[in-house]
Amino acid sequence: MARRGILTTAHGQVATPAFMPVGTAGAVKGITPEQLKTTGAEIMLSNTYHLILRPGVETIEKLGGLHEFMAWDRPILTDSGGYQVFSLSPLAQITDDGVEFASHINGSKLNLTAESATSIQNRLGADIIMCFDQCAPFPCDNATLQKAVDRTVRWAVQCKKAHSRKDQMLFGIVQGGIDLPLRERCTKEIVDLNFDGYALGGLSVGEGHDNMIKTIEHTVPFLPEDKPRYLMGVGTPLDIITAVHAGIDMFDCVLPTRNGRNAFAFTGNGPVRLRNNAHINDPAPIEQGCDCYCCENFSRAALRHFFNVGEMLGPIMVSIHNLRFYQKLMAQIRQAIENTQFNKWADETGEKYRSLELLKNTQNSAISL
């Protein structure tokens, strides 16, 4: 099911399968737009909920729209705020009409509906905008899951009617947890609305890798072949490889930068934890052969020192490395598909990452004992 494509937007083309770095509040933390480009990123993600709170849609409009505000002249995707219904659930009151949030900053009230979330994204000016949806927690009872799916479909209809810009793509979102019949029903109803692309939401929320992949494999065949497929909020290298194998085209996740800020570096031979004493005098880069600015200029010893003294250069450099690692992974995936070698490559690479994950878990268990 793996496939190679080109996504064409108002601000340029994106080679798929693609990974989108996350700039929640209008910037990828600690990374300039030029640095982000050097990692190979062709598209990035920002978040409607956070931008509404600060600096506000009016400010962004006055400053020329989201691309101008972010100094990013390539494609942007904005989430609708639907994920915050899940991640900020203690601060949210959900009804069939929408969601009332108590701001996580100062407690002020914020109401989001399908219409307002769409209108705000129209005004922000991203190239791809998302329907407002309800992401149910995992686990949850069937009645809660059914209600979340019903609202997601109802709100998708309202988003489609409210969408007012032809230069923006609007993606529908499929919910349903790991309930396969419910996923199937939701997919068919969302596809019937004829969106520009389709996202799978409500995964990577605690259900585990195997349940996630089983759900994707069941859902993807009900999606149109000629529209992009986006798996929201995923994930690890193994998650991405396996999901591409199941037919997914687009991904986003905070792991490269969040882990980078915590001295955790991704490599093809497993994670490197740069605070460890083993790196005190280590002259090697994070990963031999890596062409990122970090690996070409800094040793593991230097990076460890930066973290230990609270120097911001450490988190910045490791974030750059991790972002480059992810983009190189996507380039390898695209090349393997083009060469009709993806199945073999995915089996070998996926098995390596599974072994590394098993080793990590074994080590963690030993430490806890």
Does the active-site annotation cover 79?
yes
Catalytic-role residue among 79, 127, 133, 249: 79
Torsion angle, alpha carbons of 235, 239, 242, 244, to 10: 0
Check residue 22 and report its DSSP letter. Answer: B
Strand ranges for the chain from DSSP E = 5-9, 12-16, 18-20, 44-47, 76-79, 92-95, 98-102, 109-112, 128-130, 169-174, 197-200, 229-231, 250-252, 264-265, 272-273
Tokens read off for 334: 């695209």
DSSP string of 190-254, one letter each residue: HHTT--SEEEE-S-SSSS-HHHHHHHHHHHGGGS-TTS-EEETT---HHHHHHHHHTT--EEE-S
Tell which residue, 84, 85, 160, 83, has the closest CA to residue 118. 160
Q: Rounded to an integer, what distance in angstroms lies between the CA atom of residue 70 and that of residue 67?
A: 5
Longest dimension (CA), the chain: 61
Tokens read off for 153: 């479909």
Catalytic-role residue among 127, 239, 249, 252: 252
Does the active-site annotation cover 252?
yes
Tokens read off for 70: 């972010």
Exposed, middle or buried: residue 62 (CB in 10 Å: 0-12, 13-18, 19+)?
Answer: exposed
Catalytic residues: 79, 252
